[in-house]
Amino acid sequence: MTIATKEILALNRFDASQTNDFSPELAERIARRSAAFGASSVLFYQQPIEMVRAKGAFMYDAQGQRYLDVYNNVPSVGHCHPRVVEAIARQAGTLNIHTRYLASVVEAYAERLLATFPGQLSNVVFTCTGSESNDLAMRIAQIGTGAKGFIVTETAYHGNTALVTEISPSSLRRRKPAPYVRVVPAPSADANVGERFAAAVKVAIAELQAEGFGVAALVADSIFSSDGIYADPPGFLKPAVDAVRQSGGLFIADEVQPGFGRTGGMWGFLRHGIEPDLVTMGKPMGNGFPMGGIVTRPELLAAFCEETGYFNTFGGNPVAAAAGLAVLDVIRDEELLDNAREVGDYFREGLKELSLAHASIGAVRGAGLFIGLDFIVPDERTPGTSLASHVINRMKENGILIGAAGKYGATLKIRPPLCFSRQDAGYFMATLADILKGG
Ligand SMILES: Cc1ncc(COP(=O)(O)O)c(C=O)c1O
């Protein structure tokens, strides 16, 4: 039996061709939106929501309905955190320029951020998005190795530039990635995952070498967000990274999702006992202020800069640096790494208990506050894609925002702000239990 795969951006997407019972006001808003944005417009839910404000782990719509945010990895220290908002406003009212002047807030941020990295990862370049960060990292890897090829997982998403789209198989609707990109299956949840993943990477290395591309880098998000969330056992990535390095290639850790505390440690790659050659960052870095960056070894950056100039007008501007500093302060002062670990463990254990009572829950896995919950069709043991979609929509009716991931869109992607409490997790689990009982 062939099971239909799902494109990550298509999951839980509003579909205008389906029947609906919108109020005339909502119908008009949607029509205006699609007239302005055309084919690129993507809205969540069959009954789209207009959000008007947010605080902590909650968002509020235009009708005053409150939603618990279990989806959003961007405002990761909490929506509209007062310390981040104040830092942005203060700096915007003082000085905001590009990066070719000395500015103490920018230098202070670079040093604070670099202090969170191990070993030789001692240079940073600031960008504005995760996509720009991955694009730059890929170019540094190609110049540093003299090779062209990349290895990525089959449902990966790494961003939206021309180069990065080639290593984002989940974005490609009509074709496969470019010939210099090799796609390997997502890590599985079985005991031999490290060996199996490394074996697939070794095949990809051999193919890239045989075709003359060589290996520039393995690019992986260490929590495998869009592949369906694979975190365990810690260290399973190491054999694959070792194999890539033996072939002359580098390891680019895409920390856009697992970075800044999500997995209970500052960086997701730390769980795997590896020091990447390049680390890319984005989303949670400014808690909603658009900022990204890469961290690497000085010699790799120097080799790149000898070949190519790199200037990013907005990357690392003083307002971004002020936002970034405030995020680091909040992570430290509110002990959010501990919270991600403690609430994450409690949440995962509770969901595992729930799975004992519901055969439609196939597995629960993850690290910190990034949890994947697989739905299955119990008798067939096939992915429960339609149940995932039903749960997402019923959750919304109960005031909870949640999304899906994985090749078949059958994995609930549980990824709340890091200020999420046990009480929030309890509300989520009670609501999920009700929905699965048919409520
Ligand atoms: C793992 C990963 N890398 C990179 C990106 C791209 O980041 P941005 O949308 O900021 O360009 C994303 C975005 O979803 C992502 O999930």
Main-chain dihedrals φ then ψ at residue 66, nearest 5 degrees:
-95, 140
Pocket-testing residue among 138, 157, 285, ligand 1, by greatest number of atoms within 8 A of Cβ: 157
Residue 131 Cα to ligand 1 middle (Å): 6
Residue 321 Cα to ligand 1 middle (Å): 20
Residue corresponding to tokens 């729930």: 354
**Per-residue pLDDT, 244:** 98
**Per-residue pLDDT, 47:** 86
Residue among 156, 102, 63, 133 at smallest CA distance from 285: 133
Structure tokens that stand for 176 in this block: 């496969």
Q: Under the phi-then-psi rule, with left for phi > 0, alpha for psi from -120 to 50, and beta for the rest, what region is 291?
A: beta
Residues ≥6 apart with Cβ < 8 Å to 415:
70, 71, 72, 73, 225, 257, 262, 369, 370, 371, 403
Residue 358 Cα to ligand 1 middle (Å): 33
Bridge partners, residue 152, by sequence: 183
| Alpha carbon nearest to ligand 1 atom 7, residue | 130
Residue among 313, 224, 228, 306 at smallest CA distance from 271: 224
**Per-residue pLDDT, 1:** 57
* CATH code for the part of the protein at 82-333: 3.40.640.10
Asked whether the beta carbons of 253 and 220 are under 8 A apart, the reply is: yes
| Alpha carbon nearest to ligand 1 atom 3, residue | 158
Structure tokens that stand for 424 in this block: 């929030």
Segments in 126-279 forming alpha helices (H): 130-145, 162-165, 193-210, 238-246
| Alpha carbon nearest to ligand 1 atom 4, residue | 158
Pocket-testing residue among 257, 260, 280, 312, ligand 1, by greatest number of atoms within 8 A of Cβ: 257
pLDDT lower than 50: segments of the chain: none
**Per-residue pLDDT, 41:** 84
Residue 92 per-residue DSSP state: H
Residue 6 Cα to ligand 1 middle (Å): 18
| Alpha carbon nearest to ligand 1 atom 15, residue | 158
Structure tokens that stand for 107 in this block: 């230098």
Atom of ligand 1 nearest to the CA of 130: 7
Residue among 254, 436, 420, 256 at smallest CA distance from 345: 420
In the chain, which segments carry CATH 3.90.1150.10?
8-77+336-436
**Angle, alpha carbons 158-280-169 (nearest 5°):** 15
Atom of ligand 1 nearest to the CA of 290: 10
**Per-residue pLDDT, 191:** 82
Instruction: With H, G, I as helix, E, B as strand and everything else as coil, classify residue 54.
Output: strand
Atom of ligand 1 nearest to the CA of 132: 11
Asked whether the beta carbons of 99 and 93 are under 8 A apart, the reply is: no
Segments in 14-57 forming alpha helices (H): 24-37
Q: CA–CA distance from 302 to each of 79, 213, 308, 373 (Å)?
A: 38, 23, 10, 43
Instruction: With H, G, I as helix, E, B as strand and everything else as coil, classify residue 63.
Output: coil
Instruction: With H, G, I as helix, E, B as strand and everything else as coil, classify residue 6.
Output: coil
Q: Is the dihedral of CA 380, 385, 386, 391 positive or negative?
A: positive
Please count the CA atoms within 13 angstroms of the CA of 69 that sit on its side-chain side: 22
Other Cβ atoms less than 10 A from the Cβ of 158: the count is 32
Structure tokens that stand for 225 in this block: 């967000």
Atom of ligand 1 nearest to the CA of 226: 16
**Per-residue pLDDT, 400:** 98
Bond prior to 378 in cis (omega within 30° of 0): no
What is the C-alpha separation between 221 and 357, in angstroms, rounded? 32
Q: Under the phi-then-psi rule, with left for phi > 0, alpha for psi from -120 to 50, and beta for the rest, what region is 316?
A: left
Pocket-testing residue among 168, 256, 279, ligand 1, by greatest number of atoms within 8 A of Cβ: 256
Residues ≥6 apart with Cβ < 8 Å to 269:
222, 237, 253, 255, 258, 275, 276, 279
Residue 282 Cα to ligand 1 middle (Å): 7
Instruction: With H, G, I as helix, E, B as strand and everything else as coil, classify residue 311.
Output: coil
Atom of ligand 1 nearest to the CA of 134: 4
| Alpha carbon nearest to ligand 1 atom 13, residue | 159
Q: Render pLDDT for 199-230 as a digit per residue (tens, 0 to 9).
A: 999 999 999 999 999 999 999 999 999 999 99
Please name the helix (run of DSSP H) or strand (run of DSSP E) that holds residue 365, with its range, or none. strand 361-367
Strands 370-377 and 411-414: antiparallel
Tell me the CATH architecture of domain 8-77+336-436: Alpha-Beta Complex (3.90)
| Alpha carbon nearest to ligand 1 atom 8, residue | 130
Residue 159 Cα to ligand 1 middle (Å): 5
Pocket-testing residue among 283, 291, 314, ligand 1, by greatest number of atoms within 8 A of Cβ: 283
Asked whether the beta carbons of 214 and 208 are under 8 A apart, the reply is: yes
Residues ≥6 apart with Cβ < 8 Å to 298:
120, 122, 123
Residue 271 Cα to ligand 1 middle (Å): 21
Ligand 1 — pocket residues by CB below 6 A?
129-131, 134, 157-160, 221, 225, 254, 256-257, 282-283
Atom of ligand 1 nearest to the CA of 159: 6
In the chain, which segments carry CATH 3.40.640.10?
82-333
What is the C-alpha separation between 304 and 86, in angstroms, rounded? 37
